[in-house]
Chains A and B, each alone.
Chain A
Amino acid sequence: MRDTPPEGFVEFVVARGPALHRTAVLLTRQEQSAEDLVQIALAKAWRSWGRIDGNHEAYVRRIIVNEFASSWRRRWRGEVSTADLPELSRDGHGDGDHGDTVSTRQSLLAALVTLPPRQRAVVVLRFFHDYTEAATAETMGTSVGTVKSQTFKALAALRISEELREEPTADAAGSAREGMTR
């Protein structure tokens, strides 16, 4: 059994582990789950380490995203999201603009939990990592049309102002119908 990490592995984790962990936190919204997710991805990368050609961080992040999107499930004793999201209070709980901003962000984070895993992954890649649609599609192993449709659905579910969203193309809408069912 290979107990010794491959060459460069530990240095990579020291340098890029925190960044990968941030991605995982945004996906799972649970720090323990995020750490588990990063460990799973690192374990998978460990075995392929010598054959990874080029960007190790992109490689591991791709595993994180796909592990989360394709197989992450509600864990026993873990968070279980509900089908719908809480609406913003119309009474306003904030103190002026700052309070409104904080309230809006908190409600967005709460709503993010309710998204299906693939939509959540698209949101994190597109709007936290600022990946292009093509880069997001490549990372998730899917088509640009599916990324567009998943983005549209996610932003609709998050109730992002409609005028700030793009309408999906016919192709994207078709991809949505053929998209993931879970």
Chain B
Amino acid sequence: MTRTLDDLRGALQDEADAAAYPDVDALVAGARRRVAASRRRRLAVLGAATAAVLVVGGLAVTRPAHKALPQPADRGPFTVSASGAGFPQYQPGMKRLIVVDAPMLARTNGSIVVPTHAGRRLVVRMTCTQNDNMDNVNEWDVRMFAMFSALGGSGRSSCSTSGGFYDSLDLAIATAAKTTVLADVSFNQEPPLRPDLFKGAKIHVAIYESIPWQDYPLPPRPADMNTSAQHAWSSEPGTVRVLGPTTVQEANKPLTFTQPFDPKLSLNLEVRGPGRMRVLFDGVDVSERIGPTLTQDRFISFWGYDGTASIGLPVDIASIGASATIPPPLKPGTPVTVTIEPQEFQGPDWRIAVQPIPPSGG
């Protein structure tokens, strides 16, 4: 069957029409709550940045060596941050390489050279501060165009108020012992421009690199894993079956089962603690197809106890690929052998739930 733009437009319209009418009171209340929380969070970050004194050893901001890179020619106004600017030393699967600061200018650009390891992922995080004035942060976001690039990869970042690991910009894969990251931050100066908009404001940029599993400081397993609601498995309606370890001894034992293909069902891989695994469909390892942010060193990897990751896998994932090579899709009822090969789990902290695919918009 041929898919057309009309089909796409119709699908989008159907999806939008199926959405529940939002509670506008809740939207206003949520916005109010976020404005207040954002202010509190910013103040807390500032406090932490002031208190922390972290030494970044062996790292330097130098002139770029890569002549083919378009710009800029030098490090610009960026200087190595002595405080770390509140960026944690580790984020899931990654270690902080460097933090640099710069005053917020109409245009701030420079080259940040960091020691790297070939084959490791590099990500960028950015925050902005302005003494204790938080009212300008959102205005910066709207006006800011912050672009980072390295090794052919590039992406935009912002003075996001949501903060945290999930605001990381996935930039590139390092290819050598040294990588130059180009930063180019500019602002739309169109009036009306608040006079104090940039006064005393700073940009903080952290660059992280993915690290081998054994180099990551895994947290200890909480004692209340089996009793705390935070770690409890969710029970979705319509779940067909659930498989997985129930004891520490079973936590890292391979699991193989057969699931008849049903286009209305997915395999929901749920993980609530650190560990890593490979997933195979009919003997084909699909672990690296889950996505670069979850797969590290060819394993689907999990790094902490701060929530339950939930990954929906279509049962026929092994049959999907580039259009020139895909085999026919599975017929309903075709048995698929699924194998989970777990490693490094500290307890029975993963499971597979065979569940209906959620309806669109829901």
Tell me the A residues contacting B by CB distance below 8 Å.
Answer: 1-3, 5, 9-10, 13-14, 17-18, 21-22, 25-26, 29-31, 34-36, 38-40, 42-48, 51, 53, 59, 62-63, 66-67, 70-71, 73-93, 100-101, 103-110, 112, 123-124, 127-128, 141, 155, 158-161, 164, 177-182
Interface residues of B in 328-362 (CB under 8 A from A): 328-329, 331-332, 357-358, 360-362
Q: Is the CB of A108 within 8 A of B22?
A: no
Residues of A with C-beta under 8 A to B9: 127-128
Residues of B with C-beta under 8 A to A91: 331-332
A26 to B16, CA, bound (A): 6
A67 to B38, CA, bound (A): 15
Q: Is the CB of B3 within 8 A of A161?
A: yes
A155 to B9, CA, bound (A): 12
Q: Is the CB of B38 within 8 A of A43?
A: yes
B35 interface contact, C-beta 8 A: yes
Q: Is the CB of B11 within 8 A of A35?
A: no
Residues of B with C-beta under 8 A to A26: 12, 15-16
> Smallest Cβ distance from A40 to chain B, in angstroms?
6
B181 interface contact, C-beta 8 A: no
A141 to B24, CA, bound (A): 28
Interface residues of B in 176-192 (CB under 8 A from A): 192
Known: A76-B307, A159-B323, A161-B2. A70 touches B157 (CB 8 A): yes
Q: Is the CB of A38 within 8 A of B312?
A: no
Q: Is the CB of B316 within 8 A of A181?
A: no
B224 interface contact, C-beta 8 A: no
Residues of B with C-beta under 8 A to A40: 34, 161-162
Q: Is the CB of B360 within 8 A of A106?
A: yes
Residues of B with C-beta under 8 A to A35: 22, 26-27, 30
A85 to B291, CA, bound (A): 13
Sample (9) of A-B pairs whose CB atoms are under 8 Å apart: A31-B19, A39-B27, A39-B30, A45-B31, A46-B35, A66-B156, A105-B7, A180-B155, A181-B153
Given A83, A109, A128, A181, which contacts B171 in the complex, CB threshold below 8 Å? A181
Interface string of B303-323 (1 = CB under 8 A from A): 000111111111011011101
> Smallest Cβ distance from A177 to chain B, in angstroms?
7
> Smallest Cβ distance from B148 to chain A, in angstroms?
10
A67 to B342, CA, bound (A): 35
Using CB atoms, name the residue of chain A closest to B158. Answer: A70
Residues of B with C-beta under 8 A to A105: 7, 10-11, 14
Q: Is the CB of B31 within 8 A of A83?
A: no
B7, B22, B292: residue with the most chain A Cβ atoms closer than 10 Å: B22
Given A21, A25, A76, A109, which contacts B11 in the complex, CB threshold below 8 Å? A109
